Structure 1
Amino acid sequence: MIPVRTIPRAKIKVSEIGFGAAPLGNLYQPITDIEARATLERALAAGMNYVDTAPHYGHGLSERRVGDALREREGVVLSTKVGRLLRADATLRGDDSEREGFRSPLPFARHYDYTYDGILRSYEDSLQRLGLASIDLLYVHDIGTRTHGADNAHYFDQLTQGGGFKALERLRDEKAIAGFGIGANEWQVGLDALRHADCDAMLLAGRYTLLEQGALTEFLPLCHDRQVGVIIGGAYNSGILATGTAQGTGLRYDYGEAPPEIVARVARLEAHCRAFEVPLAAAALQFPLAHPAVASVLLGLGAPGQVEETIRLHAFPIPAQFWLDLRGEGLIAEDAPIPTDR
């Protein structure tokens, strides 16, 4: 079984490897309800007791599928997200053409709303889509300049002056949720949130990986000091740390085409992995777990076979010298914790 770690402030235990349910919303390609159910059930049987979804994933499809699989199950920690409201749109034809990365037939359009009323509405809507009576963690989804650009100040003001954080505090005080935080692709907005709210957990995607460790200087130490559990998403940086560079074209990094400097750095990592006979994906999966602030690494899984491969990579034995050489060659930050430090 997969080991569990504690998110101290929320007083909940999550598996070191969590189930990211974006693929259950037909991310990039459609899967059937049967495939979605089989994938999540295999993950639960393997010991992944933590499942993360969002209204954005398939415009409600992921939440519906997750709820159908989790109903009447005990011992599963569930997180979803707030900040996007879904509204029926009659102009959407209900086909599976790609919208915002998802090939979902659900005719809903998303609208950003981080206000007090918007947060509470998002929470209630998620309960309805899930068909469940409770949610453990809520993340404010995609706040930050990467999503909103120049409009981010307006949306962040909805969280502070508009009462979004107060709504989350109310839900926690009423024990409707165990905790809340930010779910974003940039650590800087996490720091901003911690200055304004008493967060319990942070979901950071793509910014603390084998490729980049910018969150080491301020964000992760502050979370550790304040006992805020950090969930790492995007451990493969959108795929390049899973596939490597051998295919030559179509390499994905940070939701787009990988730039030459990233490809070159991954190639150096691959060469090091070959020397030690270590799968690149195993190193990418295990590396973030060495940091004491990290509670879990979320992986988007869309087939039972992917679950099996993830279990293998998580357990793959990696020699201590592998990590020491990565550090010595400047392929990871000098102050980045490595598994040999634990």
Structure 2
Amino acid sequence: MNARQAALPLRRLGATDVEVSAVGLGCAPLAGLYTPVEEAVATATVDAAWDGGVRHFDTAPHYGAGLSEERLGQALAAKPREAVTLSTKLGRVLVDHEGQWDLWSEPNGKAAVFDFSYRAAFASHLGSLERLGTDRVEIGLVHDPDDHPGAALEGTYRALAELKAAGRVGAIGIGMNSTDAAADLVSRADFDVALIAGRYTLLDQSALDKLYPLCLERGVSVIAAGVFNSGILADPSPGARFDYAGADRQVLARAQAISTICDRYDTPLRAAALQFTAAHPAVASILVGARNPAEVDDALAMYAHPIPGALWHDLKRAGLLTEEAPVP
């Protein structure tokens, strides 16, 4: 059985009826993150994920100022809608903007700017539906409210709660990078899911301190994104990115030390990175960003790659993994 034929288990989010596949596709790269992606390649990437059993696809207006949503919608148009779980995010609105913007390499005359107001949330939701070519999304997330928790709760969260009550969104949550800010919001509102990027990986287990225990306590399912910490855990070579920027010498050395132990057990670092993040009981699904079919196929193969238990023991003995971290 190859990666394209393997079935992925489905997990339910919180107390909702929304299910996500154990591996989901993060669709930011499809919008030309760092470098352009041809439309045909974006479609082929989504097709590869679908063929591999992926049924959860995550996007946001922020990604390429709507380009990710448009490309994802086009790629999924021929798929059975009832089998797809779509997640997108609210908290930014699109405005006119000329030239290249932020990390996105395919300018389209738009940019995304923060707006956590109640009215903007409904407008954002409708805009996403139009770009995705659908009448609903299964998951709505408050996007990056780290520095605006009050406004996000009063505006975006309130709108999402109403959309959920009306049956227009199935599960609601947050999509963030900061564990402390995420824990604060999870403790103050009734969320079903927390999509957290880069805070529970082979290089960063900060989610163990407060956030993941809180999610388990409150029945909030975690979707863990950024499992490669922007690429360094896929290839820890000089010049690798860590959390969207160039990795410093200390982080690079740590990643290389982890890779050396993986090599000892003939295990690709990528496999260890994916499976470690997926092993925590709070995590319902991991999200893998891919920009072409080969990256999708590799991620699915790495997710299924056998890893001996001694590898995890050696990582902990070397002080490269927190002792209390659950392992596969």
Q: TM-score range by the shorter chain?
A: over 0.9
Q: CA contact under 8 A between 2:23 and 2:54: conserved in structure 1?
A: yes
Tell me which residue corresponds to 2:119: 117
Q: Are positions 1:260 and 2:245 aligned together?
A: no
Tell me which residue corresponds to 1:224: 216
TM-score by length of 2: 0.94
Letter in 1 for 2:169: I
User: Of residues 154, 157, 160 in structure 1, which corresponds to 2:150?
Assistant: 157
The Cα of 1:4 is off from its aligned counterpart by 2.2
Q: Are positions 1:201 and 2:193 aligned together?
A: yes
- Whole-angstrom distance in 2 between the partners of 1:205 and 1:216: 14
User: Of residues 99, 104, 128 in structure 1, which corresponds to 2:101?
Assistant: 99
Tell me which residue corresponds to 1:49: 55
Q: CA contact under 8 A between 2:90 and 2:156: conserved in structure 1?
A: no
The Cα of 1:25 is off from its aligned counterpart by 0.6
Q: Are positions 1:235 and 2:227 aligned together?
A: yes
The Cα of 1:142 is off from its aligned counterpart by 1.4
CA displacement 1:36-83 (0-9 Å, x = unmatched): 111101111110000000101111110001111222523110000111
Trace 1:74-93 onto structure 2 (pairs within 5 A): 74=81, 75-89=83-97, 92=98
The Cα of 1:85 is off from its aligned counterpart by 0.2
Letter in 2 for 1:173: A
Q: CA contact under 8 A between 1:244 and 1:280: conserved in structure 2?
A: no
The Cα of 1:309 is off from its aligned counterpart by 0.8
SS at match of 1:101: coil
Trace 1:129-144 onto structure 2 (pairs within 5 A): 129-144=131-146
Tell me which residue corresponds to 2:176: 184
Tell me which residue corresponds to 1:147: none
Tell me which residue corresponds to 1:292: 281
Q: CA contact under 8 A between 2:101 and 2:107: conserved in structure 1?
A: no
Letter in 2 for 1:88: D
SS at match of 1:11: coil
- Whole-angstrom distance in 1 between the partners of 2:260 and 2:48: 33
- Whole-angstrom distance in 2 between the partners of 1:71 and 1:132: 9
Q: CA contact under 8 A between 2:142 and 2:157: conserved in structure 1?
A: no
CA displacement 1:263-300 (0-9 Å, x = unmatched): 11112101101111110011001101110110111111
The Cα of 1:143 is off from its aligned counterpart by 1.6
User: Of residues 164, 174, 181 in structure 2, which corresponds to 1:172?
Assistant: 164
SS at match of 2:234: helix
SS at match of 1:178: strand
- Whole-angstrom distance in 2 between the partners of 1:11 and 1:217: 29
The Cα of 1:10 is off from its aligned counterpart by 2.4
- Whole-angstrom distance in 2 between the partners of 1:123 and 1:261: 41
Q: CA contact under 8 A between 2:91 and 2:152: conserved in structure 1?
A: no
The Cα of 1:329 is off from its aligned counterpart by 2.2
Question: What 5-or-longer segments of structure 2 have no aligned partner?
Answer: 1-6
TM-score by length of 1: 0.91
The Cα of 1:196 is off from its aligned counterpart by 2.2
Tell me which residue corresponds to 1:149: none
- Whole-angstrom distance in 1 between the partners of 2:264 and 2:138: 43
Letter in 2 for 1:204: I
User: Of residues 117, 127, 130 in structure 1, which corresponds to 2:129?
Assistant: 127
The Cα of 1:9 is off from its aligned counterpart by 2.2
SS at match of 2:137: coil
Tell me which residue corresponds to 1:38: 44
Q: Are positions 1:281 and 2:270 aligned together?
A: yes
Letter in 1 for 2:210: E
- Whole-angstrom distance in 2 between the partners of 1:5 and 1:117: 32
CA displacement 1:210-268 (0-9 Å, x = unmatched): 111111021101111211110111100111100123xx3x1211111111111111121
Q: How large is the Cα RMSD of the aligned pairs?
A: 1.3
Identity %: 41
Runs of 4+ off more than 4 Å? none
User: Of residues 254, 259, 262 in structure 2, which corresponds to 1:270?
Assistant: 259
The Cα of 1:88 is off from its aligned counterpart by 2.8
SS at match of 2:112: strand
User: Of residues 305, 317, 321 in structure 2, which corresponds to 1:328?
Assistant: 317
CA displacement 1:68-103 (0-9 Å, x = unmatched): 1222523110000111100234xx15xxxx421111
